């Protein structure tokens, strides 16, 4: 059984790298963002709560995130282990997490701020169907048109340079203490997230002592 945490700023490819790792090793990919999106789309009580928080321009609270993660882990449907993305969000959660689970490693995807800006500001969203695009990594066939429904592609409302700068500040303020704690336990492998995804995945596997990745 293998238990990993993956950390990295927006645009660092956390989702992609977790998916590749999870698929090959039969890990449960526990993405906090995906869990909340599922609740919103499925109109659950938690989804309604999340929608209200987000409509007010706020982030979902740490306590709520913790509850969702606990509930998810308590399902024990992760026979071969898990990789968790979006948690822990603060030092206290990290401590609780380490007390409850034997972590095999923390993958820290590192991306220079300039590259984060380039990647995040290239994101587009279909105004009609909500499909995600990225003008660098996932280009639409026709520029500014959705491949699926032909809708107009627009930037996300909160993807402005100012909003991104403020999100990055928040991210580092919150994450640095968590990373420090994990580093003290010698769990952290820091991987350069700039190369293309296959190289990043190979590097992650090598650093974690896992069999090489064969795409
Ligand atoms: Zn569309």
pLDDT (0 to 100) of residue 143:
87
**Catalytic residue, candidates 37, 67, 70, 156:** 156
CA of 38 to the centre of ligand 1 (A): 19
User: How many angstroms does the Cα of residue 154 sit away from the middle of ligand 1?
Assistant: 11
What's the pLDDT score for residue 23?
94
Q: How many CB atoms lie within 10 A of CB 153?
A: 21
CA-CA-CA-CA torsion sign (136, 193, 50, 167): negative
In this structure, the dihedral spanned by the alpha carbons of residues 172, 178, 181 and 186, taken in order and rounded to 10 degrees, is -90
pLDDT of residue 29: 95
The Å distance, Cα 37 to ligand 1 centre, comes to: 18
| Residue ranges in 26-87 assigned as alpha helix (H) | 32-41, 45-55, 62-74
pLDDT of 172: 92
Q: Cα separation of 26 and 21, whole Å?
A: 8
Q: Per residue in 102-138, pLDDT tens? A: 899 999 999 999 999 999 999 999 999 989 899 988 8
Verify whether residue 197 is a known catalytic residue. Answer: no
CA 125 / ligand 1 centre spacing (Å):
8
207 is catalytic: no
What pLDDT does residue 133 have? 92
User: What's the pLDDT at 117?
Assistant: 95
Can you list the residues of the chain whose pLDDT is less than 70? Answer: 57
């Amino acid at each position: 059984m293998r238990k990993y945490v993956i950390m990295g700023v927006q645009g660092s490819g956390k989702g992609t790298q977790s998916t590749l790792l999870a698929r090959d090793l039969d890990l449960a990919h526990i993405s906090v963002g995906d869990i909340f999106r599922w609740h919103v789309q499925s109109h659950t009580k938690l989804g309604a709560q999340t929608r209200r928080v987000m409509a007010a321009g706020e982030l979902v609270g740490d306590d709520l995130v913790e509850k969702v993660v606990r509930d998810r882990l308590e399902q024990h449907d992760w026979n071969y282990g898990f990789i968790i993305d979006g948690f822990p969000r603060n030092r206290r959660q990290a401590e609780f997490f380490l007390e409850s689970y034997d972590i095999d490693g923390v993958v820290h995807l590192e991306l220079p701020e300039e590259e984060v800006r380039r990647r995040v500001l290239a994101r587009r969203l279909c105004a009609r169907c909500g499909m995600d695009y990225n003008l660098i990594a996932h280009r639409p066939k026709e520029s500014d048109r959705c491949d699926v429904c032909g809708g107009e592609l627009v930037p996300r409302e909160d993807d402005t340079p100012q909003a991104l700068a403020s999100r990055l500040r928040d991210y580092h303020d919150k994450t640095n203490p968590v990373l420090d704690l994990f580093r003290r336990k010698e769990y952290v492998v820091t991987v350069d997230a700039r190369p293309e995804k296959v190289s990043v995945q190979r590097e992650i596997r090598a650093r974690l002592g896992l069999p090489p990745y064969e795409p």
